Structure 1
Amino acid sequence: MDLHISLEGRGDRTDRIYRQLRDAILDGRLRPGERVPPSRELARSLSVARNTVAAAYDRLVGDGFLEGRAGAGTFVAYSGEPQAPSRRAPAGPLLPARRWAALADEPPPTPPARYDLRVGHPDPALFPLATWRRLLSRSLRATADYADPSGLPGLRGAIARHVGLSRSVRAGGEDVLVTAGAQQAIDLVGRVLIEPGTVAAVEEPGYRPVRRLFGSHGARVVGVPVDADGIVVDAIPPSARLVYVTPSHQHPLGTAMSLARRSALLAWAQEHRAAIVEDDYDSEFRFSDRPLEPLQSLDRAGRVIYVGSFSKTLLPSLRLGFLVAPEALRPALRAARRLADWHGEPAAQAALAAFIDEGLLQRHLRSVARVYAARHELVVRAARGPLAPWFSLVPSSAGLHVALRCTAPLDVPLDVPGLVRGLRAAGVAVEPLTHFYAEPPRVPDPGLAIGYGAIATADLPEALDRLADQADRADQAGSVD
């Protein structure tokens, strides 16, 4: 048999002989039962040592592509279907499941601006890095083995005590499952509760990554309007089996769900045998008013899954979150976590447990809350002063952002997209409220979400001045048109 093998160029000759013979077998050029040249003969034709060819043959025999027959030679043993030889037309690329077609178009992150007013970005400069480095170094020496998928018991207990005291969440350590941030917590809930076609209700406007996440699990996601009291319970589809809400600080409007609306939502969930995912993402920072009871503490029917995160309180790159789930869901959630990534990072979990137990988290929260309160006040003053001709403040007393709604008459609306572009050119990054809708709202909702977590307090007045200046320019341009 004339068998062409090229050894031109550099590289391991044994490996190149192996791969070319394997490819010839896979695409059918060498058929099952066909004899290959003796190693001595092929080595002579290739001008290589016999051991080079013999080593390639040994690999092919070991992988099941060739077999040696005593006294007869070496033959092709592989009997699978030929795999698209290069001389044939290609079969086409591998494609993802259809539901991923609309989920794979997420734009790349934009570079940070000089003045960052985006939502959901805490200030990394406030993170106690030296303290964390000390705790993490200590933890690395004590955590070297695989861990529990639910999280280290010490951290689970510490989280239960923390949220019990700070947020009135009713939980013990056995109720807590530690996750890689709130996003993984919600993903695990989706894995456990969503089947193809399950109706999942989300706030509109709301946190868009959750809508996309539920859709990736095959859910039919339905947006439900939000008013001053929270999600409009009467508008939730009766077929919904999962409802995602941000009751303590609605994302992005910033309002708190009223007690009456919380009670109505819990009654609805019990009547329709639905689950509620309560995302309490940044309510640690409250600047006035007493916080309302979380849905989880009001729930008596086991319908609420409470989700929290340390990315907003500590550092965005610190992927640590948690969920508190009803007992009936815990085994499935634990199995989902184990199947997803086995367990979290034990050293970081141990460090966080010590951070909480030694009182360092509460000390840190008190410290940064004063900083964020000052920034919140600066934004409120600007909304009621220099920004008042164009915006009104949506009442909010917690979290790391507020919403501003345009007050310009609808017959001469403020060009918010143009305003955002102008601000970006002026070094200010800000998000319009329309970005938080899955589809353009039926009733126009022009406005901005103003985040003050990532910007230094000293820089905030200048950023707000630039916002007022650009709003004035956009207003004048609209009036001329």
Structure 2
Amino acid sequence: MILAELLALQRADDAGLAAQLTQQLRALVASGRIRSGAVLPSSRTLSAELDVSRNTVTHAYEQLEAEGYLRVAARRRPVVSDDIEARFAKPGAAPKRETVRKPLLSSWALQLSDTDWPLSYQAKFRPLRSGLADAREFPHEIWARCLRRSALRRRFNDQTVVNRPSLREALRDYLEISRGVHAEADQILILPAAQAALTLIAATVIAPGDAVWTEDPGYPGAAAAFRAAGADVVGVRLDQWGMMRMREARAPKLIFTTPSHQHPTGRVMPVARRTELLAAAAPGKTWIVEDDYDGEFHYDSRPMPALQGLDREGRVLYLGTFAKAMTADIRIGYLVVPPSLAQTMEIAQRHLGLIASVHVQEALTDFMADGHFLAHVRRMRRIYRVRRDHLAAALARHLAPMLTAEVPPGGMQLIARFKDGAADQNAVARLVAAGVEVRALSSLALQRPRDHGLLLGFAAWRENEIGAAVRTMANCLTGKRAARG
């Protein structure tokens, strides 16, 4: 058999002749058409038979030798490697079906579920997904100028500074004025997301077996981060004022709370309850994580100052994010830590690689310094309030016999409870299939869920979109066609 007869080089092909020859020879050996121990023509002979340069053939032979297909000795013709048939299936033989085995995972990974973050329908952007800012209202042109200005600067030589001093200082001033947070700039860590801040906290202060209290129902990402560190996560029930104190339980290592707008109910924790919560956290023994994820958006009164501002013992770690106030793809969060933790947590931040883009940090500094951030927040506060009221009115108009909406004083979402206690998971499945993206209230419970309802986002959706979504909900849940209005 003449080897050249098995090869078909395309002279006009974009791939070089050497690459074509290498690929075709590799395929012939792998398929078994050229057997182990077969002696191939010399580079001079094959080049003449194919009418190509000798260098083309030499390059192909050398590449296949490097990959283990050929053995090439000085002044000898190339030989197909002896073990080639053991490495590849024989011609015509069906590939063996390997038994699919479960991967070896950590105990934490084995407990993961997409009920925490549903993945099945997130590729589509549909009303009434919760927790999203309206990117359509964001000043993208202004933000693009800030990014461009940051990228063109030539002062990023010191890459060891992972938390840009300029943004730390801008955040310190903003948080003190708007949220009543008291801190020095070096207590602020800039992170690639709010969830990264929870990961950092868990890795730094939690040891396996430590008790952690979280709200129930509450933000599932917090429980996921703490469980990953081996914590014993305990869900604490809510009343009308938010998280209750569990006097009979052992003192926790950490308490996670969302006092400004409890997730998902939107309830605001009053000062008396905040003081009680601080009293439950012994200095040096119990830490409190205050997640102020959407504290910028309070509509019915002045926002209550942060829990961190009431703390005089250095027990509170204050967490915030730009993803809600600006747009989700900003991917920047921040963490204000007590002075006793500042150095340790910044070192841990580096070890874990939880480092935000320097260019985005500098762009954010400009965006805040030029007044664009506050102007955008003020504008969106007005818009979101109108959307909240529109959603509440639409639910009352079309679904009052079935759902009771709790209108929160702030935030970006509300919950609507089923009056008859009906299971919410089936309703969510029907609504998602109909094109309305909601979450089941029961899916946010850490223990046995006591309440069933729907978590509905209003911030990212315009009034006409909200109205259409609620009419779809009414059609889907009641079986009756909802009138427009």
Q: TM-score, normalised by structure 2?
A: 0.76
Residue type at the aligned position of 1:285? F
Shift of residue 425 of structure 1? 3.6
Deviation at 1:288, TM superposition (A): 0.6
Specify the code of the residue in structure 2 equivalent to 1:192.
T
- CA shift, 1:451, in A, is 0.7
Alignment correspondent of 2:35: none
Q: How does 1:107-256 map to 2 (within 5 A)?
A: 107-112=119-124, 114=126, 116-142=127-153, 145=156, 147-148=159-160, 150-234=162-246, 237-256=249-268
Query: Which segment drifts farther, 316-325 or 210-219?
Result: 210-219
CA 1:275–1:431 in 2, change beyond 3 Å: closer, same or farther? same
Is 1:432 aligned to 2:440, yes or no? yes
Change beyond 3 A, Cα 1:452–1:242: same
- Do 1:160 and 1:172's aligned partners in 2 also have CA atoms closer than 8 Å? yes
Output one character per residue of 1:133-185: Cα deviation in whole Å (capped at 9) or x when no partner: 11100100115746345411101111111111111111231121111121111
In structure 1, what is the Cα distance between the partners aligned to 2:8 and 2:210?
56
CA positional deviation for 1:332: 1.9
Unaligned stretches of 5+ in structure 2? 1-6, 10-17, 27-41, 46-54, 64-86, 90-97, 481-485
Q: Is the 8 A contact 1:143 1:347 kept in 2?
A: no
- Please report how far the alpha carbon of residue 405 of structure 1 lies from its aligned counterpart in structure 2 after TM superposition: 1.8
Q: Deviations over 1:285-343 (max 9, x none)?
A: 11112222211000111110000000011111111110000011112211122122263
Matches of 1:239 and 1:96 in 2, distance apart?
34
After TM superposition, the structure 1 stretch with the greater mean CA deviation from structure 2, 463-472 or 103-112, is 103-112
Q: Give the corresponding residue for 1:297.
A: 309
- Measure the CA separation in 1 of the matches of 2:436 and 2:215: 28
SS at match of 2:404: strand
Give the Cα separation in 1 of the matches to 2:285 and 2:163: 29
Task: Write the distance in 1 (CA, Å) between the matches of 2:445 and 2:470.
Answer: 25
User: Quick one: which amino acid aligns to residue 242 of structure 2?
Assistant: G
Q: Which residue of 1 aligns with 2:460?
A: 454
What is the rounded CA distance, in whole Å, between the counterparts of 2:464 and 2:395 in structure 1?
A: 18
Please give the secondary structure, in 1, of the residue aligned with 2:144.
Answer: helix
| Aligned counterparts, 1:4-15, within 5 A | none
**Residue number among 453, 467, 472 corresponding to 2:473 in the alignment:** 467
Task: Please give the alpha-carbon distance, in whole angstroms, between the structure 1 residues aligned to 2:250 and 2:443.
Answer: 27
**Matched position secondary structure for 1:301:** coil
Work out whether 1:101 is the aligned partner of 2:107.
no
Residue aligning to 1:29: none
8 Å CA contact 1:252–1:402 kept in 2: the answer is yes
- Fraction of identical pairs, as percent: 32
2:128 touches 2:458 (CA, 8 Å); kept in 1?
A: yes
Residue type at the aligned position of 2:463: T
- Which residue is equivalent to 1:423? 431
Question: Which residue is 2:379 aligned to?
Answer: 367
Pair 1:287 & 2:299 matched: yes
For 1:133 and 1:223, the matched residues in 2 are separated by: 42
**Cα 1:394–1:272, aligned 2, differ >3 Å: closer, same or farther?**
farther
SS in 1 for 2:334: strand
Instruction: Write out per-residue CA displacement over residues 249-299 of structure 1, whole angstroms, 9 at most, x where no aligned residue.
Output: 011011011211111111111268211110000111111122222110001
CA contact (8 A) 2:392 2:407 kept: no
Deviations 1:113-149 (A, max 9, x none): 65x1121111110111000011100100115746345
CA gap of 1:436–1:461, structure 2 versus 1, over 3 A, is same
Of 401, 404, 409, the match for 1:397: 409
Root mean square deviation of aligned Cα: 4.5
Would you say the 8 A contact 1:428–1:463 is kept in 2? yes
SS at match of 1:240: coil
CA contact (8 A) 1:392 1:407 kept: yes
- Specify the SS of the correspondent of 1:397: coil
Aligned residues of 1:224 and 1:235 also touching (Cα < 8 A): no
SS at match of 2:479: helix
**In the alignment, does 2:331 pair up with 1:323?**
no
Task: Give deviations 1:387-409, integer Å, cap 9, x for gaps.
Answer: 3322223251011011122223x
Tell me which residue corresponds to 1:263: 275
Structure 1 residue 379: Cα displacement: 2.1
- Conserved 8 A contact 2:398-2:474: yes
Residue of structure 2 aligned with 1:275, choices 272, 275, 287:
287
Aligned-residue offset at 1:227: 1.4
**CA contact under 8 A between 2:294 and 2:411: conserved in structure 1?**
yes
CA contact (8 A) 1:149 1:342 kept: no
Change (3 A) 1:461 1:262: same
Aligned partner of 2:399 in structure 1 is 387
Any conservation in 1 of the 2:192–2:355 contact (CA below 8 Å)?
no
- Relative distance call for 1:223 and 1:415 in structure 2 (3 A) is closer
Q: 1:306 to 1:420 in 2, by over 3 A?
A: same
Number of residue pairs aligned between Structure 1 and Structure 2:
449
Q: Deviations over 1:187-239 (max 9, x none)?
A: 11111112222222211101112211211222222211111111111268424
Residue 211 of structure 1 aligns with an amino acid whose one-letter code is: A
Q: Which amino acid aligns with 1:135?
A: C
Aligned 8 A contact 1:150 1:337 in 2: no
1:354 aligns with 2:360: no
Scaled by the length of structure 1, the TM-score of the pair is: 0.77
Gaps of 5+ in 1: 1-7, 20-40, 45-50, 60-84, 475-481
How far is 1:466 from its partner? 2.8
- Secondary structure at 2:212's aligned position in 1? strand
C-alpha separation between the residues in 1 aligned to 2:287 and 2:257? Answer: 11
Structure 1 residue 385: Cα displacement: 4.1
SS at match of 1:428: coil
| Offset of residue 454 of structure 1 | 1.8
Matches within 5 A, 1:16-31: none
CA deviations over 1:63-117 (Å, ceiling 9, x no partner): xxxxxxxxxxxxxxxxxxxxxx999xx9997944422122265644434365x11
What per-residue deviation string (whole Å, max 9, x for no partner) do you get for residues 411-458 of structure 1?
Answer: xx44533433333343222122112113432x3x11111110221222
